[in-house]
A and B are shown apart, each in its own frame.
Chain A
Amino acid sequence: MTTPYQHQGAPGAVYSSPIPIRRAHLGDAIASEWTKIRSVRSTIWTLSVMALLLVGIGLAVAAAITTSDANVEDQPILSLGFFGVLLGSLCVMTLGVLTVASEYGTGMIRTTLTACPTRGRVLTAKAIVFFALVFTVTLALTLFVGVAQVAIIDQGSPTTQEWLRSTLGVSLYLALLGLLSLAVGSMIRHSAGAITIMIGLVLLPLVMAMFMFTESLSWLQDALLEYSIPSQLGVLYDNSVTQSGPMGWEPLWIMLGIAAVALGAAYTMLNSRDV
């Protein structure tokens, strides 16, 4: 460390690193984002709380129904998972926002974008890693809760459609809702602000609908009820608040569209803004 240094750019003394240069691509960015998401405590916390909510509420509701001997024949058994998933979605939204916004909060985003100046690649890698993580975790949890509920209640077996929608469908829906949160977090760049916006997005339509008593607003009230996120989630469980509006798998396509538009906007903003 004490070798004399050269002056005025002496010729021929270029430093050349022994580390081989291998072209980095999206796969490397995904590996990087996976390291990031698994190495912070907020990931473990939000996903643990989500597991607790889904399993805890799911099993508690099922147990309550068997002990009270209530007749649930008119309601699909798997729809009992709805309450846990609705609360669990708050965890998914929080984690989605934090995945991007915490980088702005800590200043890490500068380091990240210095290491990978192709900004689109960073956001794509984040979206892929986060989507895969949430989808996998939710699928495992909804499957477990569904099987447990059917076993506990023991009143007929759900159809294949019901099984698919309440596990695969719900998991895709939550993962897409998470992607929407991730996009909002990337645009707002502030964790608390983005989480508030997401919670408002879930709750406000229902709350607002409650206050629309007048006849002239009833169409808006219906629309808010039908298209609010909790109702859409209910549709996947055949447990909608209303009898009109989207049916079957439709909520999934609606959320896919919204998440795609939000991610598109997030890409555009990330590429043009200073960090």
Chain B
Amino acid sequence: MTSKSVQRLAPWIATVGFVILWWLCVVIFDIKNYILPTPLEAVEAMYKFRYPLFVHGLATLMTTLIGFVIAVGIGMVLGILVGSSRLLYSALYPLLVGFNSVPKAALVPVLVIWFGAGTVPAVITAFMLSFFPVVANVATAFATIEPELLEVMRSLGASRRDMTFKIGIPRSLPFFFASLKIAITLAFVGSVIAEIVAGNSGIGNVMLVASSNFNVPLVFAALIVVGIMGIGMYAIFDFFERRMTSWSIRGGSGMQQMGGG
């Protein structure tokens, strides 16, 4: 087997290995299924509750994506501002770090007081968890532009706008995509937490109801659904990252180092 096909199979092998390990734990330690179900029981629950899981999974996906899109929009603008101005950087960065350190789950009850139970707190929680990596990455990309490049641009009479659109944004794309992959997974965490604390729909709500009925297999089925959605979104961004920032990943088949002057 070539090393390339090994690489392609590796994630599947690791996943199967993990499932086997899970199963062995349940069998060896004789764990009751209302504590930890076997993978098979979780999958059975997925099949049995496929309709509610689909509907609530879709609700969670929508909530997550709305929060995520807002986070990307605001995060990118804030990142550009913070990254291109030293004053804004020193003014806002401590605030952003402080804000990011606040446990968002603790804020959900407050959000419920403000907006009522339902989708809005979940969207806001998804937003709050996912916007920081976008800001931090885009700001880093903008703040680390080579000074000579800025001098070349300034000596041509380039405006702020030119610098942002011709240098800053293309340069920040690899950073931006890296942050999207982190942000989307965090957005799922945020929306599901909010749904558990104060939702009336979504996967989090399914988990809450299931665990209060001691239907632990369904809790795990719901977790698997969230995990699969997370992997799916990650894969989508990974695909776009490869297409749009191939210049930052050297090597590959196009590699051709020229010698001499």
Task: Say whether A and B bind each other.
Answer: no
Chain A positions near chain B (C-beta within 8 angstroms): none
